Amino acid sequence: MLNSAAIIESSAGATPPTCFVPVETCRPKNPLIEKLGKFATLGGQEFDALERVCRSRKKLAPRETLLREGCRSSFVFLILKGMAVRYRYLSNGKRQIMGYLLPGDLCDAHFLVRNYLDHDIGLLTDAEVAVIPIRELTSVMAAFPTVRRALLETMVTERAMLREWLLNVGQRNARQKLAHFICEISERMQSLGQVNPDGSYSIALTQVELADTMGLTVVHVSRCLQRFRAEGLVEWLRHQLTIVDVQGLRQLAGFDEGYLHIARDSPGSCASAAARGLCSIVAA
């Protein structure tokens, strides 16, 4: 969707190479700009400012720890390519993964407000990041209220995702948890255009990561995936994920498309909710 397929190097045999969307929306190839563009309408000035802020880049090896709990920094990292996770360890050695960072995600905008981090951030793949001086980012935010607002929105979205995760980990059983996570991560990758031509996704996740995401053991994750496979719901071999039965998986997961707020606020994304009308107190 959006303009993701605008300049793509014919990875998809189906999409035509030409660019049919308006020039303005076709322009950004910077994932931060693409992401913020989903929350606010940005103009050329904003594009330039954001582009400038991301000029310092760095390539990183897989499995590297990007940021450590407690570290302080006057920079903010932006994922340009690759995948990272937030996590924390418990003293008993258990690890909880608290979020996945994909291209366009900041890790951590947190530093705009606090001077240290309360969790680790590790890379799952080799990656490219932009190293953004906080000072520059704040001045862009000051100069462009729309950027400030869009950044705020990304934080609010992240909070919403954490709530959904809490619901997932707290109230669903293992199969539902897994199903829900698969729906979520594939939706996010899809919105980034990271779908293979055959409809599969290349995801560098091991079952260990899945287990630590959902609060399960690797053994149990393995069994659940086996069953998914047997039931014709999902294929997940090596790092290739294929969702065979999207409907079935979503139903099992109780997945609500639109919760990720990937699309701009649209009445459709919360139609049922909106139907309930204004809150009681205000309406009274």
Partner DNA sequence: CGAAGAGTTGAAGCTCGTCAATAATCGTGG
Partner DNA sequence: CCACGATTATTGACGAGCTTCAACTCTTCG
The residues binding DNA (CB under 7 A) are 173-175, 206-208, 215-220, 222-223, 225-226, 237-238
Specify burial of residue 284 (Cβ count, 10 A radius: 0-12, 13-18, 19+): exposed
Return the number of the residue (45 or 251) whose C-beta is nearest a copy of itself.
251
Choice from 51, 69, 126, 231 touching a copy of itself (CB under 8 A): 69
State yes or no: residue 259 binds a copy of itself (CB under 8 A). yes
CA dihedral 53, 58, 63, 65 (to 10 degrees): -60
Please give the C-alpha separations between residue 110 and each of 157, 201, 284, in angstroms, as whole numbers. Answer: 14, 30, 38
State yes or no: residue 95 binds a copy of itself (CB under 8 A). yes
Comparing C-alpha atoms, which of 163, 173, 154, 176 is closest to residue 40?
A: 154
Selection from DNA, a copy of itself, none that 95 binds (CB < 5 to 8 A by kind) is a copy of itself
Selection from a copy of itself, DNA, none that 21 binds (CB < 5 to 8 A by kind) is none
Return the number of the residue (23 or 282) whose C-beta is nearest a copy of itself.
282
State yes or no: residue 63 binds a copy of itself (CB under 8 A). no
State yes or no: residue 46 binds a copy of itself (CB under 8 A). no
Residue 163 CB, shortest distance to a copy of itself, in Å, is 5
Choice from 7, 8, 156, 237 touching a copy of itself (CB under 8 A): 156
> Strands, E, within 142-229: which ranges?
201-202
State yes or no: residue 160 binds a copy of itself (CB under 8 A). yes
Residue 211 CB, shortest distance to DNA, in Å, is 7
Residue 283 CB, shortest distance to DNA, in Å, is 23
Selection from DNA, a copy of itself, none that 208 binds (CB < 5 to 8 A by kind) is DNA
Tokens of 279: 């809150």
> Strands, E, within 169-248: which ranges?
201-202, 234-237, 240-243
Comparing C-alpha atoms, which of 191, 179, 193, 186 is closest to residue 241?
A: 186
C-alpha span between 133 and 136 (Å, rounded): 5
Q: For residue 166, give the H/E element and its range.
A: helix 145-171
C-alpha span between 3 and 190 (Å, rounded): 12
State yes or no: residue 58 binds a copy of itself (CB under 8 A). yes
